[in-house]
């Protein structure tokens, strides 16, 4: 039943888009399909703030996913061996740290937003401001997606750690060390990527 | 009160078309009759027999005053007089009296015959003229008519019965449909303001208004003398020079020079014309002329259209030159309203196909759509994922051994 609803909506959407396109084509108004005009005229603040929001949002989703995986494993294994509860909390903390990284990055990015008056800037400065908006969007998106992946991975490893700990207490430390190793390269990747893009934006939001 | 005018309004919708308004009221107090029924299409006999003879005559009024307004119709109350102040005093009379009547009747020629139903009353007929030449004069005359009615009735001593109607016949007034068409045409004619049209040799431009804001003061500009044009029409470079002066203060003058260029653009592989520069040469209070070049980013991409097209823009964004510090110069904003311009390729002295500066979706709508799409996508994915979380049933075996939980740490 749901399939029919999807098919109907999709076909209506396709029909509208196709007829709009053909109308523009056949009435000699093809130039009105203007992607460049839209992308240069959308305020850079829109994209920059979307990037900031995505940085935080995706990071939190990744953290939540990881905690979900780890938490259910700890609960399951802890039914038989309740001693694992206290030690395996550190796996949950690793996941939570991913969310904290996302928040920190978005706060840092939001400090780069400054006021500018388009009428006072030259063309090249305005172009750089538009670029800065897209750069912040890219930085936020990258940060968010990489945090998402990291959170999932940390969660899976933490879940393995809980089950290993329940089987044999000596295994916990070794598996947690592995968790650390995941975090470190990821952290480098995220912050490095972010800082490169941030350097690009730093100069260009000017008041004057 | 609303019911009275609602009755009259409904009359105007119905196509029984030979009735005119008939308002009557009195200042006799202590009448024992109920408020008479009022409906459209009443016969005047009904009013005179039922209302005057049986209800008002026992009160022994001294005077019967008949106000005959010129070509009074229902629309005078419902459309022209819909302002709160029009007919205010007449409304007060009708509101205050329980035996007042608002009806619509067939117009009768001999209104003095009503007098026979009110014995003992002196008849006085007052003719009121209404000037219907323009909408403003009509509203003014309606108010004046109201004042005359009020003054007359205030100065009368004793008991009176007043009537407000018209003696013009239906053939002059026309059917309601004809009257409505007349009203519509009249209001359109009164609301139309003149656009300034420049039918130059090369550049054709039309605009409703130009406003020039010097620093913070906004001046409405009107043409000072005829505009001039520079350039032959075919080499891709046309210039229009407008000579303007301020409407309120003739000492503020400005010459606006607009340069249009036609160029082939590689990306769209088409020829486009655009406004490449605007220079304003103004002086105010007879001081030295100041020449300012406006920032091209404020108009270059907006006042632009393909070859042989014209551009229509109801409210183009202001063309500005602003400075960060006050000492660097005076801020200038040039604002057009209702602009249509075609600087190249005008055929037959009329504007070519028009491109609207405001597309179907504005930039704000696009931004909103993109962000909403992103949000809805993420939300949908998230909800779908959450919906498929289940508990593990791998070890569920209804026939197998039950789980034993040892009671130890």
- Cα distance from B297 to chain A (closest Cα, Å)? 8
Per-residue confidence (pLDDT) for residue B140, from 0 to 100: 84
Q: Give the separation between CA B382 and CA B375, rounded to whole angstroms.
A: 11
Per-residue confidence (pLDDT) for residue B1, from 0 to 100: 57
Nearest to A123 among B297, B367, B370 (CB): B297
Residue by residue, DSSP assigns B354-388 as EEESS-SS-HHHHHHHHHHHHHHHHHHHHHHHHHT
Per-residue confidence (pLDDT) for residue B281, from 0 to 100: 92
Q: Which two tokens stand for residue A124?
A: 């090249």
Per-residue confidence (pLDDT) for residue B172, from 0 to 100: 66
Q: Give the separation between CA A170 and CA A154, rounded to whole angstroms.
A: 20
* CA distances to B243, B246, B280 from B257, in Å: 9, 17, 6
Please report residues of A whose CB lies closer than 8 A to that of B376: none
Please report residues of A whose CB lies closer than 8 A to that of B267: 36
Give the position of tokens 């400075």.
Answer: B323
Q: Give the separation between CA B60 and CA B28, rounded to whole angstroms.
A: 8
Nearest to A46 among B297, B298, B367 (CB): B367
Q: Which two tokens stand for residue B49?
A: 């027999």
Crossing angle between the packed helical segments A123-167 and A44-80, to the nearest 10 degrees: 0
Nearest to A119 among B320, B367, B370 (CB): B320
Sign of CA dihedral B259, B264, B267, B272: positive
Per-residue confidence (pLDDT) for residue A206, from 0 to 100: 38
Give the H/E segment covering residue B161. Answer: strand B160-165
Q: Which two tokens stand for residue B295?
A: 């920032």
Contact B19, B7 (CB under 8 A): no
Please report residues of A whose CB lies closer than 8 A to that of B297: 118-119, 123, 126
Residue of B306, B363, B379 to mutate, testing the A interface (most A Cβ within 10 Å of its Cβ): B363
- Cα distance from A50 to chain B (closest Cα, Å)? 8
Interface residues of chain A, partner chain B, Cβ below 8 Å: 31-32, 36-38, 41-43, 46, 50, 57, 61, 76, 79-80, 82-83, 117-120, 123, 126, 208
Q: Give the separation between CA B308 and CA B344, rounded to whole angstroms.
A: 6
Q: Does B110 touch chain A (CB under 8 A)?
A: no
Per-residue confidence (pLDDT) for residue B17, from 0 to 100: 57
Please report residues of B whose CB lies closer than 8 A to that of A120: 322-324
Q: Give the separation between CA B291 and CA B282, rounded to whole angstroms.
A: 7
* A-B contacts at Cβ under 8 angstroms: 41
Please give chain A's pLDDT, 208 residues, in tens: 789 999 999 999 999 999 999 999 999 898 999 899 999 999 999 999 999 999 999 999 999 999 999 999 999 999 999 999 999 999 999 999 999 999 999 999 999 999 988 888 888 999 999 999 999 999 999 999 999 999 999 999 999 999 999 999 988 888 888 777 777 666 666 666 666 565 544 434 433 2
Sheet-wide strand order for B339-342:
B196-199, B204-207, B339-342, B310-313, B354-356
Could you tell me whether strands B332-337 and B209-214 are parallel, antiparallel, or unpaired per DSSP bridges?
A: antiparallel
Q: Does B371 touch chain A (CB under 8 A)?
A: yes
Could A118 and B297 be called an inter-chain contact, meaning their C-beta atoms sit closer than 8 Å? Answer: yes
Q: Give the separation between CA B14 and CA B41, rounded to whole angstroms.
A: 11
Grouping H, G, I as helix, E, B as strand and the rest as coil, residue B289 is coil
- Cα distance from B268 to chain A (closest Cα, Å)? 7
Among A150, A41, A34, A169, which Cα is nearest to A101's?
Answer: A150
Sheet-wide strand order for B40-42:
B40-42, B101-105, B20-26, B160-165, B63-69, B122-128
Could A50 and B322 be called an inter-chain contact, meaning their C-beta atoms sit closer than 8 Å? Answer: no
Could B409 and A57 be called an inter-chain contact, meaning their C-beta atoms sit closer than 8 Å? Answer: no
* Minimum CA–CA partner of A32 in chain B: B359
Could A50 and B374 be called an inter-chain contact, meaning their C-beta atoms sit closer than 8 Å? Answer: yes
Q: Give the separation between CA B121 and CA B57, rounded to whole angstroms.
A: 9
Q: Give the separation between CA A183 and CA A62, rounded to whole angstroms.
A: 13
**Low-confidence residues of chain B: pLDDT under 70:** 1-18, 34-35, 81-84, 97-99, 109, 169-173, 187-193, 409
- Cα distance from B392 to chain A (closest Cα, Å)? 10
Q: Give the separation between CA B73 and CA B286, rounded to whole angstroms.
A: 55
> Which residue pairs from A87-92 have beta carbons closer than 8 angstroms and sit at least 24 positions apart in sequence?
A87/A165, A87/A172, A88/A158, A88/A161, A88/A162, A88/A165, A88/A172, A90/A176, A91/A154, A91/A157, A91/A158, A91/A159, A91/A161, A91/A162, A91/A176, A91/A179, A92/A67, A92/A158
Q: Give the separation between CA A15 and CA B259, rounded to whole angstroms.
A: 43
Among B66, B64, B55, B65, which Cα is nearest to B30's?
Answer: B55
For B46, what's the count of Cα atoms within 13 Å in the CB-facing half-sphere? 15
* CA distances to A41, A188, B139, B269, B403 from B184, in Å: 42, 74, 15, 48, 88
Q: Give the separation between CA A147 and CA A98, rounded to whole angstroms.
A: 6
Kindly give, in sequence order, each residue whose CB lies less than 8 Å from that of residue B261, ignoring residues fewer than 6 positions away: B236, B237, B273, B274, B276
> Which residue pairs from A187-192 have beta carbons closer than 8 angstroms and sit at least 24 positions apart in sequence?
A187/A101, A189/A146, A190/A101, A190/A105, A190/A142, A190/A143, A190/A146, A190/A147, A190/A150, A191/A105
Among A137, A135, A112, A120, which Cα is nearest to A205's?
Answer: A112
Q: Which two tokens stand for residue B399?
A: 């026939």
Nearest to B367 among A32, A42, A61 (CB): A42
- Cα distance from B343 to chain A (closest Cα, Å)? 20
Phi, psi dihedrals of residue B335, rounded to the nearest 5°: -125, 125
């Amino acid at each position: 039943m749901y399939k029919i609803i999807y098919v109907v909506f999709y076909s209506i959407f396709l029909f509208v888009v196709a007829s709009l396109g053909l109308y523009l084509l056949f009435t000699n108004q093809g130039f009105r399909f203007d992607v460049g005009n839209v992308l240069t005229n959308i305020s850079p603040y829109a994209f920059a703030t979307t990037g900031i929001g995505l940085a935080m949002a995706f990071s939190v989703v990744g953290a939540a996913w990881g905690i979900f995986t780890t938490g259910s494993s700890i609960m399951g294994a802890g039914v038989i061996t309740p001693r694992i509860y206290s030690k395996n909390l550190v796996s949950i903390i690793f996941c939570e740290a991913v969310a904290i990284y996302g928040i920190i990055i978005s706060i840092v990015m939001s400090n780069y937003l400054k006021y500018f008056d388009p009428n006072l800037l030259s063309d090249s400065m305005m172009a750089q401001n538009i670029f800065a908006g897209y750069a912040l969007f890219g930085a936020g998106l990258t940060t968010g997606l990489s945090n998402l992946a990291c959170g999932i991975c940390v969660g899976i490893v933490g879940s393995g750690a809980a089950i290993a700990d329940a089987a044999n207490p000596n295994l916990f430390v070794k598996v947690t060390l592995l968790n650390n190793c995941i975090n470190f390269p990821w952290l480098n990747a995220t912050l490095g990527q972010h800082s490169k893009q941030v350097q690009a934006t730093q100069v260009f939001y000017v008041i004057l | 009160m609303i019911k009275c005018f609602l009755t009259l309004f409904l009359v105007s919708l119905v196509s029984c078309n030979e009735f005119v308004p008939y308002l009557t009221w009195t200042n006799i107090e202590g009448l024992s009759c109920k408020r008479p029924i009022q409906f459209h299409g009443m016969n005047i006999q009904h009013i005179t027999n039922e209302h005057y003879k049986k209800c008002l005559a026992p009160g022994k009024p001294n005077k019967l005053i008949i106000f005959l307004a010129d070509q009074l119709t229902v629309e005078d109350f419902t459309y022209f007089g819909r302002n709160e102040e029009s007919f205010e005093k007449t409304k007060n009379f009708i509101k205050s009296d329980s035996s007042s009547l608002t009806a619509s009747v067939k117009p009768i020629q001999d209104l003095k015959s009503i007098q026979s139903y009110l014995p003992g009353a002196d008849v006085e007929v007052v003719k009121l003229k209404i000037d219907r030449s323009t909408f403003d004069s009509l509203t003014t005359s309606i108010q004046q008519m109201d004042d005359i009615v009020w003054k007359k009735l205030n100065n009368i001593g004793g008991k009176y019965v007043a009537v407000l109607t018209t003696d013009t016949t239906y053939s002059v007034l026309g059917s309601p449909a004809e009257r409505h068409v007349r009203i519509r045409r009249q209001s359109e004619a009164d609301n139309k303001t003149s656009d300034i049209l420049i039918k130059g040799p090369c550049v054709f431009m039309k605009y409703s208004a130009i406003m020039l804001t010097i620093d913070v003061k906004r001046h409405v500009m009107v043409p000072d003398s005829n505009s001039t044009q520079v350039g032959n029409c075919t080499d891709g470079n046309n210039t229009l020079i407008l000579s303007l002066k301020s409407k309120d203060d003739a000492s503020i003058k400005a010459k606006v020079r607009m340069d249009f260029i036609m160029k082939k653009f590689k990306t769209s592989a088409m020829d486009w014309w655009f406004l490449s520069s605007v220079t304003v040469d103004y002086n105010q209070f007879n001081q030295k002329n100041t020449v300012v070049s406006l920032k091209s980013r404020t108009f270059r991409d907006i006042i632009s259209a393909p070859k042989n097209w014209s551009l229509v823009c109801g409210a183009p964004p202001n063309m500005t030159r602003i400075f960060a510090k006050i000492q660097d110069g005076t801020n200038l904003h040039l604002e057009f309203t209702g602009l249509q311009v075609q600087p190249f390729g005008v055929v037959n002295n009329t504007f070519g196909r028009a491109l609207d500066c405001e597309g179907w979706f504005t930039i704000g709508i696009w931004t909103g759509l993109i962000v909403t799409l992103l949000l809805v996508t993420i939300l949908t994915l998230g909800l779908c994922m959450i919906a498929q979380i289940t508990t593990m049933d791998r070890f569920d075996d209804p026939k197998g051994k039950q789980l034993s939980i040892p009671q130890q740490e």
